[in-house]
Amino acid sequence: EAYLQAIEAGNKALNAYVAVTADKAREMARASDERLAKGEGGALEGVPLGIKDLFCTEGVHSQAASHILDGFEPAYESTVTANLWADGAVMLGKLNMDEFAMGSSNETSHYGPVVNPWRAKGSNRDLVPGGSSGGSASAVSAWMCAGATATDTGGSIRQPAAFTGTVGIKPTYGRCSRWGIVAFASSLDQAGPIARNVRDAAIMLRSMASPDAKDTTSVDRPVPDYEAALTGDVRGLTVGIPKEYRVEGMSAEIDALWQQGIDWLKAQGAEIREVSLPHTKYALPAYYIVAPAEASSNLARYDGVRYGLRVNGDDITGMYENTRAAGFGAEVKRRVLIGTYVLSAGYYDAYYLKAQKVRTLIKRDFEQAFEDVDVLLTPTTPTPAFAPGEITDPVEMYLNDVFTVTVNMAGLPGISVPAGLSADGLPLGLQLIGKAFDEETLFRAGGALE
Ligand code: GLN
């Protein structure tokens, strides 16, 4: 009830929730109380969560914040949300996001932009919460849920977590099932939690993760007790500092925060070592070929026949064209155009194939670095949260993802932990990148930074 009241009071200003499922929440909470009364109960018994609109939730409309999925009510539940409910969590509602998870500011949503609960000191100007999981980050930050599901294709969990002073972890590719999550770029997409602190994120991820026969890329490995990894002890840990992440355009305060993170870990007994990831500068351009390519293919299914919106035309082609023209927003259309172009016969080798080769080089860079270190420390974003409308050039917007996309390209786990405030009082995040399936070290080191 307290969370429902907080949503009632705060959502008008923040636009984080696109649907509040109050009846369902009360019903689930009652069932949870009954289980607890019987001495039963899972790891998340009674914990009220918000769910990103990208997750299919049975009988509750799930639109990926797109007009083209108008009124779509899945007849099935995503594996990740089913896992959460099986552990006793309670659903508060569906959370706003960039349309089809394409964006870094939550300005591309069909439901309108999400507002960050934070303000710069002495200013009343709205700020973006980051994207694409902006609703998840904003809701957690404003106490409108205890935790939220999110997804990360190129930074969409970690960047909004950094912009809102919350913790977000993208686990290793394959850790969480993608079944029932609307696909953006299937070889990059991963689900993960946004939570108020590292411990909450650890507890949530343990519930979300599972092998799943319905997603052939999910990995059949036992899910460790991540909470147990929070020992508070980083002695003996070797932390790599990738020198190529000192990019142009990084603000001085982000640089200072990074140094502070290094100093903190060192003071607690970690060993710091500089490492090189030489292909870093190609990650962003390669990502913006691979991700749109996969998106253009995944989004081909929205044809006005199978889901949501239909706008009739003179014939079937006209219907397709009218539906897609009306149903997709500008950023989604841009991605479909880029993706179709780079996959076309004449350009495939020059763009898509080249980008896949770059991806292999990036992966190898990390493998080599992890021969010498246990974990890498970088900033999460090059700047703190900016104002809506401030970045209008799409390519400039893509630069937000410069520190995060490499991790998706290599399939590795990455966590963003709030680590300080900017001069004008805005949250800043540090990112830890781990070896494949070693989320435990991220929680361990993340706990020491928090
Ligand atoms: N900002 C990136 C993009 O727009 C990443 C989005 C994401 O991780 N879903 O593609």
In-domain check, residue 385: no
In-domain check, residue 41: yes
What are the φ and ψ backbone dihedral angles of 388, each rounded to 5 degrees? Answer: -60, 140
Query: Would you say the ipTM is above 0.90?
Result: yes
In-domain check, residue 409: no
State the pLDDT at residue 201. Answer: 98
Q: Is the pLDDT of residue 10 over 80?
A: yes
Provide Rg for the chain, Cα atoms. 21
CA distances from 397 to 27, 46, 163, 391, 447 (A): 41, 38, 14, 6, 30
- Catalytically active residues are 52, 132, 156
Mutate to test the pocket of ligand 1, among 55, 157, 401, 408 (most ligand atoms within 8 A of CB): 401
CA distances from 201 to 4, 47, 136, 191 (A): 21, 13, 13, 12
Tokens of 362: 């990036």
Q: Whose C-alpha lies nearest to ligand 1, atom 5?
A: 154
Residues 382 and 190: their CA atoms lie apart, in Å, by 22
Residues 6+ apart with CB under 8 A from 425: 118, 120, 121
Ligand 1 centroid – CA 204 distance (Å)? 22
Ligand 1 binding pocket (C-beta < 6 A) is 101-104, 132, 152-156, 184, 291, 401
Kindly indicate the confidence band of residue 249, based on its pLDDT and cuts at 50, 70 and 90.
Answer: confident
- The 10s digit of each residue's pLDDT in 46-55 is 999 999 999 9
pTM of the model: 0.98
Q: Is 220 helix (H, G, I), strand (E, B) or coil?
A: coil
End-to-end Cα distance, the chain: 29
Number of domains observed in the structure of the chain? 1
Q: Is the pLDDT of residue 247 over 90?
A: no
Q: Which atom of ligand 1 is nearest to the CA of 398?
A: 1
- The 10s digit of each residue's pLDDT in 317-367 is 999 999 999 999 999 999 999 999 999 999 999 999 999 999 999 999 999
In-domain check, residue 96: yes
In-domain check, residue 276: no
In-domain check, residue 26: yes
State the pLDDT at residue 304. Answer: 95
Q: Is 407 helix (H, G, I), strand (E, B) or coil?
A: helix
The whole domain housing 118 covers 2-229
198: CATH: 3.90.1300.10
Tokens of 231: 């020992």
In-domain check, residue 391: no
Ligand 1 centroid – CA 33 distance (Å)? 38
Q: Are 334 and 398 in contact (CB under 8 A)?
A: no
State the DSSP H helix or E strand holding residue 19, giving kind and residue range, or none if neither: strand 17-20
Q: What percent of the chain has pLDDT over 90?
A: 96
In-domain check, residue 15: yes
What are the φ and ψ backbone dihedral angles of 416, each rounded to 5 degrees? Answer: -110, 130
Ligand 1 centroid – CA 332 distance (Å)? 11
What are the φ and ψ backbone dihedral angles of 181, each rounded to 5 degrees? Answer: -105, 125
